Amino acid sequence: MAGDTQQTGTEYIQHHLTNLTYGQHPENGWSFAHNAQEAAEMGFMAVNVDSLGWSIGLGLLFAFLFRCAAKRATTGIPSGWQNFAEMMVEFVDGTVKDSFHGRNPWIAPMALTIFVWVFLMNLMDLIPVDIIPWLMSLGGVHFQKIVPSTDPNITLGMALAVFGMILYYSIKVKGIGGFVGELTLQPFGAKNPVVQAIFVPINLALELVGLLAKPFSLGLRLFGNMYAGEMIFILIAMMYSAGWVLGTFGGALQLGWAIFHILIITLQAFIFMVLTIVYLSMAHEDH
């Protein structure tokens, strides 16, 4: 266990779940929050520096790695990294072709970005929970959450972008009239205009719930899975301070959970990508 030996278990967990937040505090002005309470008091005008930093860093890593592959892309025999990048591209392209039936050149690159980026963010979960916060604390930084996808801001931020794209393409493909019609004239429809007028608010309520559920379920699913996984890693890490018997047992547990988690992080990245493709495919479908 890192940090002070006086820490209780609860404090240890809370410490691990607190972001490094920079924002406008009502009393201290623009500054780093010194504890979770101060971070909460900052309200909306704050940035989780660690989440966003790791997220953008991993995004840049993705951009750099795949840019390397794209620069060296030849029509000859691919080798090494290019091979792997092409494998990913082909896999994503296949998935997009399977689920997306419209013609939109942005869908496939978006799917690749989501899959690799979310995978990299999830992958940070496999780094033992204490290493980087400890290194950071040596540098005087007291809070550090290194898995961006355990921060709802990150997952909901991406989901919100997807939601924006759903709205944009719905209106672009179907027109405003078509989109509003889709929200109000189904699932219940009637020939009689009076009955139809009664159905409109019911349909709107149902369809709005369905529409809003898309980004929320998308963002919260990824967040929930990664948060739970992170929590289990933290709980396992607590065993290391409880003597060498429990510590050894904890080591075995951590290894087992990490191996199982490899499946989860890949699966969650894939699910996020596929759901995004499906939602956008639905947005492109004209009834």
Q: How does DSSP classify residue 147?
A: -
Binder to another protein among 5, 6, 75, 192 (CB under 8 A)?
A: 75
* Per-residue binder mask for another protein (CB under 8 A), 118-157, x = binder: ------------------------------x--xxxx-xx
Binder to another protein among 9, 70, 217, 260 (CB under 8 A)?
A: 70
Residue 21: its H or E element: strand 21-25
Segment 49 to 68, residues that bind another protein, using CB under 8 A: 51-52, 55-56, 59, 62-63, 66-67
Verify binding: residue 224, another protein, rule CB under 8 A: no
Question: Which of residues 29 and 177 has its CB atom nearest to another protein in the complex?
Answer: 29
Other CB atoms within a 10 A radius of the CB of residue 51 amount to: 25
59 and 51 Cβ atoms separated by less than 8 Å: no
Residue 32: its H or E element: strand 29-32
Rounded Cα distance between 82 and 17, Å, is 37
Q: Is-catalytic flag, 103?
A: no
Binder to another protein among 23, 133, 215, 229 (CB under 8 A)?
A: 23
Q: Which of 28, 99, 104, 221 is catalytic?
A: 221
Binder to another protein among 74, 140, 193, 263 (CB under 8 A)?
A: 74
Binder to another protein among 12, 16, 69, 254 (CB under 8 A)?
A: 69
Q: Which residue has the tokens 């493709």?
A: 277
Verify binding: residue 93, another protein, rule CB under 8 A: yes
155 and 223 Cβ atoms separated by less than 8 Å: yes
Q: Is-catalytic flag, 55?
A: no
Rounded Cα distance between 12 and 174, Å, is 52
Other CB atoms within a 10 A radius of the CB of residue 182 amount to: 19
Dihedral sign for Cα 89, 270, 216, 41, please: negative
Among 96, 129, 101, residue whose Cα is nearest residue 115: 96
Q: Is-catalytic flag, 225?
A: yes
- Contacting residues toward another protein, per CB under 8 A: 17, 19, 21, 23, 39-40, 42-48, 51-52, 55-56, 59, 62-63, 66-67, 69-71, 73-76, 78, 85-86, 89-90, 93, 105-106, 108-110, 112-113, 117, 148, 151-154, 156-158, 160-161, 164
Question: Looking at the annotation, which residues are catalytic?
Answer: 217, 221, 225
